[in-house]
Chain A
Amino acid sequence: MGGKTDDKVESTEDLITEVAAAEVQEASSARVLPGIVEQLKQKYAGIEVNEQLTVVAPLDNLMDLMQELKHTYHLDYLTNLTAVDYPDENRFEIVYNINSIGHGYSIMVKTGVSRDNPVVPSVFPVWGGAVWQEREVYDLLGIVFTGHPNLKRILTNDGFEGHPLRKDFEWVGGRQ
């Protein structure tokens, strides 16, 4: 042990108090705040809200909406980002699940994009957690996220052709 590392070492007793057990957090039953959704509906044109309080936003003001969700409504934690292919309606649907760590509520935001030109702004500047999830969606569904720092394939190899999770992707073997 050199002199540099010696001062790092502490006795075991100190450690236990250091990582203190957290106090029981008040359980928050409110999954989505209907009030937020109501306010958003008035502020942004073209927003639709369905029965499960999912916000369906148009693509053109998506980024403003996301910024507002994070900064005004404290939805600071992007938990899930994915997309679904609906070839019959000729569109992809991108799904964002965003939680609030401090307040315990969560919201689902969806946006649609045409299959002919699937280009969506990246939410990486708002939530860093989107960085690999957007790469995954790009890889498996072929949706391009503009403004993403490193939009490359992530699960399939670099020379892979096509996007497996598209419904018209042709694959060999297995059961259909």
Chain B
Amino acid sequence: MRTQEYVLNFGPQHPATHGVFHIIMTLDGETVVKAEPICGYLHRGIEKLAESRTYTQVIAYTDRIDYLAAMLMNLGYVQTVEKLMGVEVPERAEYIRIITGELSRLASHFLSTGIFALDIGAATGFFLCFRERERILDLFEELCGSRMTFSYMRIGGVAEDLPEGWLDKLSDLMKIIPGYIEEYQNLIAGNEIFQARTKYVCPVSAEEAINYSFSGPNLRASNVNYDLRKCRPYGIYDRFDFEVPLGKRGDCFDRFYCRFLEMAQSVRIIEQAMEQIKEVDGPVMGKVPKMIKPPKGEIYHEIEAARGIIGYYVVSDGSAKPYRVHVRRPSFINLGMLDKMCAGWKIADVVAIFGSLDVMLGEVDC
């Protein structure tokens, strides 16, 4: 019998693409022969827009890069400008940044756990994970009035001090979250069908992961110990005791599970920070001029965000507007190997592979 390859479009409008993403797949039966990823449907030109805004105005654009962990996007940008200007950040602001940043990471990991479960076919996991994310977003709403695009960080500190009683609410939440994580452990990670769909699917070796500049949980799942919070601590991360979860095989399950284990570590960091911030009083904004004009020069700074390394390259020409802002987006670079990863796997695995990379399309297209 004569057989022939055929072409199938995955997306751009497809719930499992987590946004608007397009893969043109050439299939031989159910097996993927070639996959051609196409992105850019969400491209807003943030880098270009930043060139005609002041340094402070750019903060609001960084929210829109990874809107699921917007605090970390803010943090990377303000730290870059602070480094360029040599601004010192008050200690209380540093603690608030750690707490809000890790909360953002938790909220993002909750969502990605739920969405990955949904991709695999477990709709319950999706709804459960939204329950906890909601409570974190409530805390953020109380803090800065926004649930997604916070713009809470400022060059030199944070916008406002914590509201009264906020830390108690946070502490209550941190007490229940480990229980929730255990629930997911039983419901999702320990689920037989879930494991059958993800284990041994598309393993990525450590060499490949490094070569293709993977970052975040995707890199660590391939057993590469590289977490910027640990190996090149920024802010005050050197004051906290936490572990970096590593995977062994780098398959879909490990990528998911590294993210999963990171949630417990984030809770650990927040608990320590809550304890330490009690003794730290003082302002939450450093001494920063009203008009931000960094000296002529350039800087590249990177931090560990929820999906990997977010880096900002800022060139200043001495004026009030940046000459060039480039954002190194982890999701964008993590996708570089997608065509290679999908080839040879079944069409149902493509959803698992794409979901396990946990990309955020706002970040891919910037």
Give residues in A with beta carbon < 8 Å to B: 1, 5, 8-12, 15, 18-25, 27-28, 31, 76-80, 82, 84-85, 95, 97, 101, 104, 108, 127-133, 136, 140, 153-157, 164-165, 169, 171, 174-176
| Residue numbers in B under 8 Å from A78 (CB-CB) | 213
| Residue numbers in B under 8 Å from A133 (CB-CB) | 332-333, 336
Selected interface stretch from B94-102, B117-125, B188-196 = B188-196
Query: Which of B220, B226, B258: most chain A Cβ within 10 A?
Result: B226
| Residue numbers in A under 8 Å from B313 (CB-CB) | 80, 82, 95, 97
Q: Is B238 part of the contact surface with A, judged by Cβ < 8 Å? A: yes
Q: Which B residue's beta carbon lies closest to that of A131?
A: B336
Interchain CA distance A27-B232 in the complex, whole Å: 6
Known interface pairs A21-B243, A154-B40; A165-B213 also in contact (CB < 8 Å)? no
Top 5 nearest A-B pairs (CB, nearest first) are A129-B213, A12-B190, A21-B243, A155-B40, A82-B326
Interface size on B, residues (CB 8 A): 61
| Residue numbers in B under 8 Å from A5 (CB-CB) | 196
**Contact status A97-B232, CB under 8 Å:** no
Interchain CA distance A25-B233 in the complex, whole Å: 11
26 residue pairs bridging A and B, Cβ less than 8 Å apart: A9-B192, A19-B248, A21-B243, A21-B246, A22-B244, A24-B230, A24-B244, A25-B230, A27-B231, A77-B226, A79-B309, A80-B300, A80-B302, A82-B326, A84-B315, A84-B323, A84-B326, A97-B300, A101-B210, A128-B213, A129-B213, A132-B335, A133-B332, A140-B47, A155-B40, A171-B48
Known interface pairs A22-B243, A84-B315; A129-B231 also in contact (CB < 8 Å)? no
Q: Is B353 part of the contact surface with A, judged by Cβ < 8 Å? A: no
**Contact status A95-B300, CB under 8 Å:** yes
Min distance, Cβ A149 to any Cβ of chain B, angstroms: 10
**Contact status A164-B213, CB under 8 Å:** no
Q: Is B337 part of the contact surface with A, judged by Cβ < 8 Å? A: yes
Q: Is B6 part of the contact surface with A, judged by Cβ < 8 Å? A: no
**Contact status A21-B244, CB under 8 Å:** yes
The residue that A129 contacts in the complex, of B43, B47, B212, B326, with Cβ under 8 A, is B212
Interchain CA distance A36-B96 in the complex, whole Å: 38
**Contact status B246-A20, CB under 8 Å:** yes
Q: Which B residue's beta carbon lies closest to that of A135?
A: B336
**Contact status B231-A154, CB under 8 Å:** no
The residue that B211 contacts in the complex, of A84, A104, A129, A165, with Cβ under 8 A, is A129
**Contact status B335-A175, CB under 8 Å:** no
**Contact status A154-B39, CB under 8 Å:** yes
Min distance, Cβ B2 to any Cβ of chain A, angstroms: 28
B241-273 interface mask toward A, CB cutoff 8 Å, 1 = contact, 0 = none?
Answer: 001111110000010011001000000000000
Min distance, Cβ B79 to any Cβ of chain A, angstroms: 15
| Residue numbers in A under 8 Å from B311 (CB-CB) | 79-80, 97
**Contact status A127-B213, CB under 8 Å:** yes
| Residue numbers in B under 8 Å from A1 (CB-CB) | 192-193, 196
B298-310 interface mask toward A, CB cutoff 8 Å, 1 = contact, 0 = none?
Answer: 0010100000010
**Contact status B333-A19, CB under 8 Å:** no
**Contact status A9-B238, CB under 8 Å:** no
B324-340 interface with A by 8 A CB criterion: 324, 326, 328, 332-333, 335-337
| Residue numbers in B under 8 Å from A10 (CB-CB) | 195, 199
**Contact status A128-B48, CB under 8 Å:** no
Q: Which A residue's beta carbon lies closest to that of B244?
A: A22
Q: Which A residue's beta carbon lies closest to that of B254?
A: A19
Known interface pairs A84-B324, A101-B224; A19-B186 also in contact (CB < 8 Å)? no
| Residue numbers in A under 8 Å from B127 (CB-CB) | none
Known interface pairs A27-B233, A80-B311; A165-B48 also in contact (CB < 8 Å)? yes
| Residue numbers in B under 8 Å from A19 (CB-CB) | 245-248, 254, 257-258, 261
Known interface pairs A19-B254, A28-B232, A84-B324; A76-B210 also in contact (CB < 8 Å)? yes
**Contact status A155-B365, CB under 8 Å:** yes
**Contact status A79-B213, CB under 8 Å:** yes
Q: Is B289 part of the contact surface with A, judged by Cβ < 8 Å? A: no
Interchain CA distance A50-B275 in the complex, whole Å: 43
Min distance, Cβ B38 to any Cβ of chain A, angstroms: 8
Q: Is B58 part of the contact surface with A, judged by Cβ < 8 Å? A: no
Interchain CA distance A128-B179 in the complex, whole Å: 41
| Residue numbers in A under 8 Å from B276 (CB-CB) | none
Interchain CA distance A41-B300 in the complex, whole Å: 22
Min distance, Cβ B335 to any Cβ of chain A, angstroms: 7
**Contact status B246-A127, CB under 8 Å:** no
| Residue numbers in B under 8 Å from A101 (CB-CB) | 210, 224, 226
Interchain CA distance A155-B189 in the complex, whole Å: 35
